[in-house]
C-alpha cells in the first residue's frame, strides 16, 4: 500500500534500520518517522482512544491529530509521527489512557 516518493534523496536515507512495531521486526529507511514504520508494518491500529476505545492509525503525520500515539521505547503517549526511527526502537500500541506511575518508585521532581 505504501511506497516511498520517487524523488532523489541523500544516500543516507537509503540505509535501513531495524525497529519493532508491536514486537514485530521491520526494516525502515533511516530518517523515517516511527509513524511511517507503523504504517509500513501493516498493523491494524497503533492506539485505542481512552474513553471510547476506538482503534486509530497515524493520520495527519505532521503532529496535529494525535492519532499516532504510541509507546516508544517505554515512554507512553508519544506522537510517533514526530519521532525519527532509531536502530532497535520499540514502538508499541498505546492502548487507551496511559498509566500514571503514581507509586513510590516515581522519580523525584526537580
Q: Of 51, 53, 62, 87, which lies in the binding site for another protein, with binding defined by CB under 8 A?
A: 51
Alpha helix ranges (H) inside 1-78: 34-41
101 binds another protein (CB under 8 A): yes
Least separation, in Å, of the C-beta of 49 and another protein? 9
103 binds another protein (CB under 8 A): yes
109 binds another protein (CB under 8 A): yes
Q: How far apart are CA 9 and CA 76, in angstroms?
A: 32
The contacts of residue 46 (CB under 8 Å, 6+ apart) are: 35, 38, 56, 57, 58, 68, 69, 70, 80, 91, 93, 94
**Footprint of another protein on 20-39 (CB under 8 A):** none
Interface with another protein (CB under 8 A): 50-51, 77, 96-104, 106-110
Amino acid at each position: 500500500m505504501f511506497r516511498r516518493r520517487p524523488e532523489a534523496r541523500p544516500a543516507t536515507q537509503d540505509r535501513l534500520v531495524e525497529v519493532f512495531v508491536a514486537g514485530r521486526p521491520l526494516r525502515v529507511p533511516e530518517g523515517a518517522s516511527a509513524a511511517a514504520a507503523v504504517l509500513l508494518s501493516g498493523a491494524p491500529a497503533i492506539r485505542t482512544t481512552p474513553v471510547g476505545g476506538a482503534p486509530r492509525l497515524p493520520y495527519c503525520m505532521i503532529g496535529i491529530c494525535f492519532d499516532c500515539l504510541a509507546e516508544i521505547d517505554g515512554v507512553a503517549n508519544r506522537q510517533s509521527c514526530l519521532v525519527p526511527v532509531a536502530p532497535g526502537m520499540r514502538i508499541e500500541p498505546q492502548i487507551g489512557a496511559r498509566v500514571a506511575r503514581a507509586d513510590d518508585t516515581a522519580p523525584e521532581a526537580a
